[in-house]
Amino acid sequence: MSSLVDHLRNHGDRTAVLTESTQLTYAELAELVAGFAAELGPRRRLVLLETRNDVTTLVRYLGALAGHHVVLPVPPGRDNRHIVETYRPDIVADGSGVHVRADGGHRLHDDLAVLMSTSGSTGSPKLVRLSYANLIANARSIAEYLDIRETDRAATTLPMSYCYGLSVVHSHLLVGAALILTERSVADDGFWDLFRGHRGTSFAGVPYTFELLDRIGFATMDLPHLRYVTQAGGRMPPERVRDYAAVAERQGWRLYVMYGATEATARMAYLPAHLAYHRPNSIGIPIPGGEFSIEPLDEWTEEGTGELVYRGDNVMMGYAHSVADLAAGHTLSALRTGDIARQADDGLYEVLGRRSRFVKMFGLRIDLAQLETTLRDSGVRAMCTDAGERLAVVAAGAHDATEVRRLCATAAGVPAGAVDTVVVDELPTLPSGKPDYPAGRALATSTRQSARADGDLRSLFAEVLQTDPARIDDDASFVDLGGNSLTYVTMSLRLERALGQLPTDWPRRSIRELQNLPAPKARRWTSWGSTLETSVALRAIAIVLVVGSHAELFELWGGAHILLGVAGYNFARFCLTPLPRRVRVRHLRNTVAWIAIPSVLWVAFALVVTDDYHATNLLLANKILGPDDSMTAGRLWFVEVLVWTLLALAVLFWIPAMDRLERAHPFTLAMGFLALGMVLRYDLLGITMGNDAMFSMLAFWFFAAGWAAAKAQTVWQRAAVSAVLAVGLLGYFDDMWRLILVLTGLALLIWLPAVRCPAGVAVVAGVIAEASLYIYLTHYQVYPLFGSHELVGVVAAIVVGITVSAAVTLARQKLRTQAQLVGAGSRSAMSPS
């Protein structure tokens, strides 16, 4: 490594580093590195380096290595007191500059190059000692099996304080490739702008990275220069490996799933890209220059299984527990991984479980025993275990569960939302007196419901959207997470109760932003303490008008047309979002399913117990296919129009050109569809499909008006939508009061986003609005049961619809819970007891 500067210079004018504002050639980087090496001086020193993915960190790291110093990389903003007190670094290089401390008098072994933490940020002073030969050997192996070329450009998606992130730097600089240095997350649009702009060819990810990629629609991204993607830092679910292998095959890049440890500098094994789809459970084969053996264990009696042991030039010199260990030489030649493994018939290795108590989460290797020690040092006696992709913590004594969760999350370096915590009088134990970790896991995970009651927004979003809280990122919004008009009402009411008040743009605000909203100001009139969005109020009022008019309690027609306009309004807000095209279409597909499946199921039930419907209603096409001579022929026209409209739009927006057009000109395109609706409304094309079939096409313009209303951002745009609405309504209804009712409702939707109302009214309206689809579906079969008691029939129809809505929600929750339990059982079967 003493010739590191010469190595950099040999690549001359090739691009070495790219950032948002800087570009360095290898020659320029070499001069900066040589300058920092000179600044550190000739005497060999221990350098604690606070790392960021920027030019300054890269130059300091390479300069320290070039000067034959020993580097101890640490993440920024963390409490490194244990490390500093134990190893007394000579130099601390952080965000404020380079600080020379008192002479530590270190005796540093000649081969020692880098010290790396092994256990996330649990405060352990135990470090891995890596030599210059370790670094070079692993970099060469990685560059060989990934076929890294001089033309490659890798984005830094992982920190340099993490061996995986540092290995990306080593392997690319070794062959003269370029690094795209960035601190941005893959969930940030700016990351992909930078990646495309600099013609990025690869990036690395831990399992959590790929969860973020799922949410942003990575599978549909246009990345013309991408050659390969790597994954390590923990076991990724096989189904996700297979999904990304399929995406890679389809789009022409390669997926490499890798296995490693800090003790092996970074990598020990990789799964050849062509095997990723068919062998997603495997860690693959040893890296070039490395080899595995399997040593039998008494507790694992299955033939061919045992502890996985690795040998290679990248195996660490040994551990350091104190400053005295820095003078030690190589203390081992083989690395006992602690993983239970076997070699399959095809030669690939498979990991079956763990001997020791380590887990990997968010790319961190977390020592559960050390985590318990850290908590004990803070005065908390606890047992820590994993619960799938979460930490489960049971604390004994008089502690606050929220505070224990915070301490544990801080110590482990994971989000607090990924920690399940419970406080008990005594820790659960086995008859032998040993900790009963399965019982502790069950106790801790049972507290998630309590976390929701405490106002955990992540859990609140998970409950409403029927997903796992661990898969929800604080930087995601309601729209990002697939929220739609059917979950919007519940979400807004729950958030209003949790936060006090909501901004009108809350669906697009991240969970983090919502958590950081200022406390609401005290109001003089507390009885008018809730904000109710106009779209929600209109849904509640319109469905009551529909049921009341059908039951002949009163005659106020037009509610279904208002609902159609609101549906278009919500389509524009929750389907035509900034998310990638495939994600948009997936959200739209889910919205259609939420409407169509309950409708078909209810029709099937009604066909059995009544004579109300025809088989064509099962296709939601009665208006098109007939028969039209039945008293009940048009009962479900609103659902039919809505489902077929959404299906047609899903097909249209699958077309990339249409998707791009809407993003570039959202209001103009909405007005274009409104114009199309008006063409159909006046039958300017002379289409003859029969009166009933044409009725469905005629009604489309109400949906389009709601769509345009949602995209109207200026006064003149709202005025334009209002004008078209007024013109279209003239002559559409024979009843003037019906015209006025629909015009008033949709005009409110255009001009008044929300209204203030008593809290009780907001809750009732929200419940009715949320159940509006089920009220619409069921009311035809409910109110006739009460004969001339129209008011009782209307109330009963609304109550039945609300009850069905609640039952469907409960059923979905149970199905999700069962799915999670099955998944947890599968993971448990793959894990050591």
Task: For residue 362, give the CATH number of its domain.
Answer: 3.30.300.30
Paired tokens of 754:
């929300």
Distance CA 781, CA 728 (A): 33
Distance CA 674, CA 693 (A): 19
DSSP state of 773: H
- For residue 825, what pLDDT is reported? 40
3-state secondary structure 68-119: CCEEEEECCCCCCHHHHHHHCCCEEEECCEEEECCCCCCCCCCCEEEEEECC
- For residue 121, what pLDDT is reported? 43
Flag whether 477 is in a domain.
yes
For residues 701-714, give the mean pLDDT.
Answer: 92
> Is residue 693 predicted with pLDDT exceeding 80?
no
Distances (CA, A) of 340 to 236, 301, 344, 353, 451: 17, 11, 13, 5, 35
Q: Where are the beta strands (DSSP E) in 714-809?
A: 754-757
Answer with the one of 516, 541, 560 that is the final residue of a domain: 516
Paired tokens of 588:
């739209």
Paired tokens of 331:
């203390």
Using only C-alpha atoms, the chain has a radius of gyration, in whole angstroms, of 31
Q: Assess whether 68 and 181 both reside in one domain.
A: yes
- Residue 209 has φ and ψ, to the nearest 5°, of -55, -40
For residues 411-429, give the mean pLDDT.
Answer: 80
Percent of the chain with pLDDT over 70: 86
Flag whether 650 is in a domain.
yes
Say what the pTM is: 0.52
Distance CA 114, CA 130 (A): 5
Flag whether 814 is in a domain.
no
Long-range contacts of 817-823 (CB under 8 A, 24+ apart): 820/468, 823/388
Answer with the one of 328, 354, 380 that is the final residue of a domain: 354
Q: Assess whether 381 and 332 both reside in one domain.
A: no
Lowest mean pLDDT among 197-201, 338-342, 826-830: 826-830
Residue type, 232: A
Lowest mean pLDDT among 64-73, 478-487, 675-684: 478-487
Q: Assess whether 416 and 466 both reside in one domain.
A: no
Flag whether 741 is in a domain.
yes
Q: Assess whether 412 and 553 both reside in one domain.
A: no
| β partners of residue 798 | none
> Is residue 818 predicted with pLDDT exceeding 60?
no
Q: Assess whether 294 and 149 both reside in one domain.
A: yes
Distance CA 165, CA 143 (A): 14
Which single residue is written with the structure tokens 């380096």?
A: 49
> Is residue 703 predicted with pLDDT exceeding 50?
yes
Distances (CA, A) of 574 to 35, 483, 532: 54, 7, 18
Distance CA 570, CA 488 (A): 9
- For residue 829, what pLDDT is reported? 36
For the chain, the domain total comes to 4
> Is residue 176 predicted with pLDDT exceeding 80?
yes
Q: Assess whether 246 and 267 both reside in one domain.
A: yes
Distance CA 110, CA 438 (A): 47
For residues 410-437, give the mean pLDDT.
Answer: 75
Flag whether 156 is in a domain.
yes
407 and 464 in contact (C-beta within 8 Å)? no
Contacts of 761 (CB under 8 A, 6+ apart): 530, 532
Distance CA 179, CA 176 (A): 10
Helices (H) and strands (E) in the chain, counts: 29, 27
Distance CA 641, CA 138 (A): 61
| CB-neighbour burial class of residue 242 (10 A; exposed 0-12, middle 13-18, buried 19+) | middle
Within 10 angstroms of residue 389's Cβ, the number of other Cβ atoms is 22
Q: Assess whether 278 and 380 both reside in one domain.
A: no
- For residue 577, what pLDDT is reported? 76
Q: Assess whether 437 and 492 both reside in one domain.
A: no
Q: Assess whether 602 and 739 both reside in one domain.
A: yes
Q: Assess whether 102 and 119 both reside in one domain.
A: yes
Say whether 406 sits in a helix, a strand or coil.
Answer: helix
> Is residue 32 predicted with pLDDT exceeding 90?
yes
**CA end-to-end span of the chain:** 44
Flag whether 816 is in a domain.
no
- For residue 528, what pLDDT is reported? 43
Contacts of 602 (CB under 8 A, 6+ apart): 777, 778
Flag whether 490 is in a domain.
yes
Lowest mean pLDDT among 3-17, 18-32, 109-123, 130-144: 109-123
275 and 318 in contact (C-beta within 8 Å)? no
- Residue 580 has φ and ψ, to the nearest 5°, of -60, 160
Contacts of 555 (CB under 8 A, 6+ apart): 549
Distance CA 483, CA 594 (A): 12
- For residue 106, what pLDDT is reported? 87
Enclosing domain of residue 478: 459-516
Paired tokens of 27:
């020659």
Q: Assess whether 251 and 386 both reside in one domain.
A: no
Q: Which of 297, 330, 326, 296 is nearest to 311 (CA)?
A: 330
Taking the CA of residue 477 as centre, how many other CA atoms within 13 Å lie in the half-sphere pointing to its CB? 16
Taking the CA of residue 356 as centre, how many other CA atoms within 13 Å lie in the half-sphere pointing to its CB? 15
- For residue 653, what pLDDT is reported? 92
CA dihedral 599, 777, 484, 740 (to 10 degrees): 130
Distance CA 147, CA 685 (A): 60
Paired tokens of 195:
């990646």
461 and 499 in contact (C-beta within 8 Å)? no
Answer with the one of 408, 429, 454 that is the final residue of a domain: 454
71 and 64 in contact (C-beta within 8 Å)? yes
* CATH number of the domain residue 486 falls in: 1.10.1200.10
Q: Assess whether 338 and 365 both reside in one domain.
A: no
Distance CA 295, CA 339 (A): 11
Distance CA 82, CA 773 (A): 59
Paired tokens of 37:
């090496």
- For residue 521, what pLDDT is reported? 43
